Amino acid sequence: MEGWLTKRGPTPSSPWRQRWCVLLPATLEYYADRECKQKKGSIAFLPQSVASVFRGDGATAEAAKYSEGRPFGFVIDVDPSRGKDRSLIYFDAKEAEVLDRWVKAIDTLLLSLGSIRAGDAVIVNQTFMSNSEKKALLEKESAGLVITIDEDGDALIEFDDHIDAQWVHYHNFYMLSKHVETLRKQVLLEVVPQDALIMHWAVRVGSSPTSRCYEFEDSGLRIGKNTKLDKGLPIERIKLRGYTVKTYAAIDSWARAFEEKHEYSSYGDGTLGGKNCQDFAVELCDFLGVDTSQLPWRQARVVKTSVVAGAGVVADLALGTGILTGTAEVLGAGAGAMVAASIVAGPEILAVGAVVGAAALAAYGMGILSPIQPPDSPQATSRSEDTPTATLPQ
C-alpha cells in the first residue's frame, strides 16, 4: 500500500509535512516525492508495534491533543514496552476512508510479523464473514484456535460456535487478536464414547477460550478445539488434580514428537508394536506433570492379557479408537466361536489370544458378564478365579 500522508516531525514543535508513504512487508518508508527518489526515513515494525487513531481509546495523551484539529490522524507506537523512551510517529490521513485503509493495512502487517501462528488461540474483535467456500458469520468476542496457516498466509480456525473450521484470509487478520495463554493450566481427561462398548481418550489442556484437545487415533495426532471422534454420545470430562505450567508450544512439540516416534495400534501398550489413545493420554499427562495414578484403570492392558471379543475388536478397528470397553474374558470358548471371529478379525487378532464371538457380547449386553476391576481393587480380590468377566464402559 502507498499514498500521501501528512507526517509530523520528531518533536511536538516540528512542522507537519506531506510525505509519500509506502508500506512494505516489515517497514513503512516515506519520501518527499511520489517517485520515491528523496527518501526521508523509515519505520521498522516489531510484532508488538501498535497503530492507534487519535480519537481511539489507546491513543497517547499527545495524540488525543491533536484529535480536535486532525480528526483523521493516527500514531504508530513502535515499541510500547520502552515506556517514555519509545518512538511515536504521528500521521494525518485527512479523510476517514484513507485513515481506515492505512490503520487496517498496518494492523494486518503487524499480525503477519508473528503475533498469530498455527496453534494460537484468537478472539474476534469485530463481527465479519469468514472466507470459507461456505461462509459463516464470525461473531465479535467468539474464540477460536488456529489449526494451520497455509502457503498464502491464510488461517484455518476452529471456532467455539461453529462445527466446521473456518478460513480467514490474511487481509482480515486485523479483525482478530491473539489470546494470551495463562501460566497455570488445568488438565482434563475426556472419555469419548464411540458406542456402548468402545471409548476413546483425549486430553484437554486449559480452560475456555484457550483450551485445546490433544488426541491420538488411527489417522495420527490431532490438536484442536474439540475431539474429532465425537459420536454424539455424552462425553465424560474428568478434571485431574494439579495443574501444568507447560506452554502450548512445548505441549504441541511433545505431541508431534510422539506421533513421529510411534505408529498407531488399536491394541496399544506396544502389544503389536504400536500405541493407542490411552498410551498417548497417559504419557502426555506424565509430560504435563500430572499424577497419572488418578487416571481410570487402563482398559488397554486387558486386551494384552485377556481373551479378546472378536466382534468388539473388529468394531474397535473400524472406529480406530484403540479402546475396548467391552473386552470379554470368557473361559472355554469353543473352536466354532474362534473360527467365526477369525473370519472377520484375521490372524493378527488371534495372535493376541483366543477369540470369542457374538455370544460373549450378547452375554455382556444381558448383564451376565461382570466388570473387570484393577488387580489391586477390593472388587477384584473378592471375585472367584473362574468367574467370566468383561470390562464395562467407564
- Based on the domain organization, do 239 and 270 belong to the same domain? yes
- Based on the domain organization, do 198 and 285 belong to the same domain? yes
- Based on the domain organization, do 163 and 213 belong to the same domain? no
What's the whole-number mean pLDDT along residues 349-354?
35
Residue 370 has pLDDT above 80, yes or no: no
Q: How far apart are CA 348 and CA 313, in angstroms?
A: 11
Lowest mean pLDDT among 28-32, 210-214, 369-373: 369-373
Nearest CA-CA partner of 352 in 318, 282, 302, 277: 302
Nearest CA-CA partner of 178 in 104, 110, 99: 110
The model's pTM is 0.51
- Based on the domain organization, do 337 and 378 belong to the same domain? yes
Instruction: Give strand pairing partners of 329.
Output: 389
Instruction: Give strand pairing partners of 155.
Output: 149, 168
pLDDT at position 209: 72
Residue 80, phi then psi, degrees to nearest 5: -55, -25
Most confident of 36-40, 42-46, 116-120, 243-247: 36-40
- 3-class DSSP assignment, residue 389: strand
What is the β-pairing status of strands 16-23 and 137-138?
A: unpaired
Lowest mean pLDDT among 160-169, 189-198, 308-317: 308-317
In tens, the pLDDT along 276-293 reads 999 999 999 999 999 999
- Based on the domain organization, do 380 and 333 belong to the same domain? yes
Pick the last residue of a domain from 234, 262, 294. Answer: 294
Residue 43 has pLDDT above 80, yes or no: yes
What is the β-pairing status of strands 39-44 and 176-178?
A: unpaired
Residue 386 has pLDDT above 50, yes or no: no
What's the whole-number mean pLDDT along residues 145-172?
86
Pick the last residue of a domain from 70, 85, 115. Answer: 115
- Based on the domain organization, do 274 and 374 belong to the same domain? no
* Residue 45 per-residue DSSP state: -
pLDDT at position 354: 32
Q: How many CB atoms lie within 10 A of CB 375?
A: 10
The angle that helices 335-345 and 310-319 make with each other, rounded to 10 degrees, is: 10
- Based on the domain organization, do 315 and 236 belong to the same domain? no
- Based on the domain organization, do 273 and 314 belong to the same domain? no
pLDDT at position 59: 62
Pick the last residue of a domain from 115, 132, 163. Answer: 115
pLDDT band at 115 (very low <50, low <70, confident <90, very high): low
The mean predicted confidence, pLDDT, of the chain is 75
- CA-based end-to-end distance of the chain: 59
In single-letter form, the type of residue at position 119 comes to G
Cis peptide before 47 (omega within 30 of 0): no
What is the enclosing helix (H) or strand (E) of 287? Answer: helix 277-288
- 3-class DSSP assignment, residue 237: strand
- Based on the domain organization, do 129 and 165 belong to the same domain? yes
Residue 91 has pLDDT above 90, yes or no: yes
- Based on the domain organization, do 18 and 109 belong to the same domain? yes
Q: How far apart are CA 119 and CA 182, in angstroms?
A: 15
pLDDT at position 394: 32
Range of the domain at 274: 185-294
**Cα-to-chain-centroid distance, residue 69:** 47
What's the whole-number mean pLDDT along residues 79-89?
82
Domain count, the chain: 4
pLDDT at position 74: 94
Lowest mean pLDDT among 81-95, 117-131, 155-169, 376-390: 376-390
- Based on the domain organization, do 191 and 128 belong to the same domain? no
What's the whole-number mean pLDDT along residues 360-386?
35
**Which CATH number goes with the domain that contains 27?**
2.30.29.30
